[in-house]
Amino acid sequence: MSRTNEVRTSCINEAELVLKGKKIVKVDYMYDKDLEALGWYHKALVIFLDDGTLLFPTTDDEGNDAGAIHYITSDDKSGILPVI
């Protein structure tokens, strides 16, 4: 197995542990106190899962600022959940 495939498999395994079988119970944008704690300038959407896990997009792997979420539905509608 190539190193790229090993990394991909590892990332998929982690994503499955965090996400698989979970339900979204709430969505909201970050509060000002969250921005201050992270040192960010923009508010990201926060996705709350039923096990208490929080998900939020960032601009890069280092978490330097909020990121947008692009989506495509099963009926080919697309859009963006933006940063604010």
Residue 13's pLDDT is 95
**6-22, pLDDT tens digit by residue?**
999 999 999 999 999 99
Task: Kindly provide the b/e burial profile for residues 23-59, where b requires at least 16 CB atoms within 10 angstroms of the residue's own CB.
Answer: eeeeeebbeeeebeebebeebbbbbebeeeeebbbee
Confidence check: pLDDT of 1 > 80: no
Residue 2's pLDDT is 87
Interval 59-77 mean pLDDT: 94
Tell me the pTM. 0.88
Confidence check: pLDDT of 3 > 90: no
Interval 32-58 mean pLDDT: 96
